[in-house]
Amino acid sequence: MGYVQEIGRKAKEASKKVQFFGQSEKNEGLEAVARELRQQMGYLLVENDKDVKNARAAGMKPALIDRLLLTSQRIQAMSEGLEQIAMLEDPVGQMERVKIRPNGLQIGQRRVPLGVVGIIYESRPNVTADAFGLCFKTGNSVILRGGSDAIHSNKAIVKVIRDGLAKEKLPADAVLLLEDTDRAAVTEMMRMKEYIDVLIPRGGAGLIASVVENSTVPVIETGTGNCHIFVDESADLKMAVDIIENAKTQRPGVCNACESIVVHSSIADKAVPLIYERLHQKQVEIRGDERAVAIEAGIVPADEEDWGTEYLDAILSLKTVDTIEEAIEHINRYNTGHSEAIITKDYDNALKFQNEIDAAAVYVNASTRFTDGHEFGFGAEIGISTQKLHARGPMGLEALTTVKYIISGNGQTRP
Amino acid sequence: MGYVQEIGRKAKEASKKVQFFGQSEKNEGLEAVARELRQQMGYLLVENDKDVKNARAAGMKPALIDRLLLTSQRIQAMSEGLEQIAMLEDPVGQMERVKIRPNGLQIGQRRVPLGVVGIIYESRPNVTADAFGLCFKTGNSVILRGGSDAIHSNKAIVKVIRDGLAKEKLPADAVLLLEDTDRAAVTEMMRMKEYIDVLIPRGGAGLIASVVENSTVPVIETGTGNCHIFVDESADLKMAVDIIENAKTQRPGVCNACESIVVHSSIADKAVPLIYERLHQKQVEIRGDERAVAIEAGIVPADEEDWGTEYLDAILSLKTVDTIEEAIEHINRYNTGHSEAIITKDYDNALKFQNEIDAAAVYVNASTRFTDGHEFGFGAEIGISTQKLHARGPMGLEALTTVKYIISGNGQTRP
pLDDT-based confidence at residue A316 (cuts at 50, 70, 90): very high
B411–A365 CB contact, under 8 Å? yes
Which of A20, A367, A406 shows the shortest C-beta gap to B412? A367
d(CA B94, CA A37): 45
A413–B242 CB contact, under 8 Å? yes
B212–A212 CB contact, under 8 Å? no
Which of A213, A359, A411 shows the shortest C-beta gap to B243? A411
**Span between the terminal Cα atoms of chain B, in Å:** 48
Average pLDDT of chain B to the nearest whole number: 95
Does position B34 have pLDDT exceeding 90, yes or no? yes
A225 close to A367: Cβ distance less than 8 angstroms: no
d(CA B350, CA B352): 6
Chain A residues with CB under 8 Å of B363 CB are 407-409
CA distance A7 to chain B (A): 19
CA distance A36 to chain B (A): 32
What is the per-residue pLDDT across B245-289, written as a single tens digit (0 to 9) for each? 999 999 998 899 999 999 999 999 999 999 999 999 999 999 999
Which of A218, A363, A377 shows the shortest C-beta gap to B99? A377
Q: Which domains does chain A have, with CATH numbers?
A: 3-221+387-407 (3.40.605.10), 227-370 (3.40.309.10)
Selection from B318, B360, B359, B401 nearest residue B134 by Cα: B401
Does position A311 have pLDDT exceeding 90, yes or no? yes
What is the per-residue pLDDT across B199-222, written as a single tens digit (0 to 9) for each? 999 888 888 889 988 998 999 998
CA B379 to chain centre: 14
The secondary structure element, H or E, covering residue B229 is: strand B227-231
Q: Minimum mean pLDDT among B24-38, B123-137, B228-242: which range?
A: B123-137
Torsion of CA B198, B199, B200, B201, to 10 degrees: -170
pLDDT-based confidence at residue B124 (cuts at 50, 70, 90): confident
The number of CA neighbours under 13 Å toward the Cβ of A82 is 31
Torsion of CA A83, A89, A92, A93, to 10 degrees: 140
A371 close to A392: Cβ distance less than 8 angstroms: no
A316 close to A258: Cβ distance less than 8 angstroms: yes
Enter the ipTM: 0.93
Farthest CA pair distance, chain A: 80
Look at residue B411 in the predicted model and tell me its pLDDT.
Answer: 97
d(CA B297, CA B272): 11
A178 close to A186: Cβ distance less than 8 angstroms: yes
- Percent of chain A surpassing pLDDT 70: 100
What is the per-residue pLDDT across A19-74, written as a single tens digit (0 to 9) for each? 999 999 999 999 999 999 999 999 999 999 999 999 999 999 888 898 899 999 99
Residue B32: Cβ-neighbour burial (10 angstroms; 0-12, 13-18, 19+)? buried
Sequence-distant (6+) residues with CB within 8 A of A175 are A132, A135, A136, A141, A142, A144, A158, A161, A162, A165
Chain A residues with CB under 8 Å of B355 CB are 20
> β-pairing, A95-100 with A106-113?
antiparallel
DSSP letter at B372 equals: S
Alpha helices (runs of H) in A195-346, residue ranges in sequence order: 205-214, 237-249, 268-281, 290-295, 304-307, 324-334
Torsion of CA A132, A143, A20, B97, to 10 degrees: 60
Q: Minimum mean pLDDT among A200-209, A272-281, B257-266: which range?
A: A200-209
What is the per-residue pLDDT across A362-384, written as a single tens digit (0 to 9) for each? 999 999 999 999 999 998 899 99
How many CB atoms are located within 10 Å of the residue B378 CB? 17
Choosing among A352, A364, A412, which should be mutated to test the B contact, i.e. which has the most B CBs within 10 A?
A412
Look at residue B122 in the predicted model and tell me its pLDDT.
Answer: 84
Look at residue B126 in the predicted model and tell me its pLDDT.
Answer: 86
What is the per-residue pLDDT across A221-251, written as a single tens digit (0 to 9) for each? 887 899 999 999 999 999 999 999 999 999 9
Selection from B297, B319, B295 nearest residue B307 by Cα: B319
Which of A216, A242, A412 shows the shortest C-beta gap to B367? A412
Look at residue B181 in the predicted model and tell me its pLDDT.
Answer: 85
d(CA B370, CA B33): 30
A405–B393 CB contact, under 8 Å? yes
A360–B405 CB contact, under 8 Å? yes
Choosing among B389, B400, B408, which should be mutated to test the A contact, i.e. which has the most A CBs within 10 A?
B389
Chain A residues with CB under 8 Å of B413 CB are 242-243, 245-247, 250, 366-367, 369
pLDDT-based confidence at residue A212 (cuts at 50, 70, 90): confident
pLDDT-based confidence at residue B64 (cuts at 50, 70, 90): confident
Which of A387, A411, A414 shows the shortest C-beta gap to B369? A414
pLDDT-based confidence at residue B223 (cuts at 50, 70, 90): confident
Which of B389, B390, B404 shows the shortest C-beta gap to A362? B404
Selection from A129, A121, A127, A112 nearest residue A148 by Cα: A121
CA distance A406 to chain B (A): 5
Chain A residues with CB under 8 Å of B216 CB are 212-213
B404–A393 CB contact, under 8 Å? yes
Which of A366, A392, A407 shows the shortest C-beta gap to B402? A392
Residue of B nearest to A394 (CA): B405
> β-pairing, B393-395 with B227-231?
unpaired
Across residues A304-323, what is the average pLDDT?
Answer: 96
Residue of A nearest to B341 (CA): A407
pLDDT-based confidence at residue A177 (cuts at 50, 70, 90): very high
A407–B370 CB contact, under 8 Å? yes
Look at residue B229 in the predicted model and tell me its pLDDT.
Answer: 98
What is the per-residue pLDDT across B178-197, written as a single tens digit (0 to 9) for each? 999 888 999 999 999 999 99
The number of CA neighbours under 13 Å toward the Cβ of A381 is 17
A402–B388 CB contact, under 8 Å? yes
CA angle A92/A95/A97 to nearest 5° reads 140
Does position A335 have pLDDT exceeding 90, yes or no? yes
Across residues B41-70, what is the average pLDDT?
Answer: 94
Selection from B388, B345, B280, B294 nearest residue A409 by Cα: B345
Average pLDDT of chain A to the nearest whole number: 95
- Percent of chain B surpassing pLDDT 90: 90
CA angle A118/A119/A120 to nearest 5° reads 120
- Between chain A and chain B, the number of residue pairs with CB atoms below 8 A apart is 184
Look at residue A237 in the predicted model and tell me its pLDDT.
Answer: 98
What is the per-residue pLDDT across A69-118, written as a single tens digit (0 to 9) for each? 999 999 999 999 999 999 999 999 999 999 999 999 999 999 999 999 99
B94 close to B111: Cβ distance less than 8 angstroms: yes
Choosing among B243, B334, B367, B413, which should be mutated to test the A contact, i.e. which has the most A CBs within 10 A?
B413
Look at residue B292 in the predicted model and tell me its pLDDT.
Answer: 98
Across residues B41-45, what is the average pLDDT?
Answer: 98
d(CA A69, CA B380): 54
pLDDT-based confidence at residue A204 (cuts at 50, 70, 90): confident
A363–B407 CB contact, under 8 Å? yes
Look at residue B253 in the predicted model and tell me its pLDDT.
Answer: 86
d(CA A85, CA A367): 26
What amino acid occupies position B251?
A: R
Residue of A nearest to B364 (CA): A408
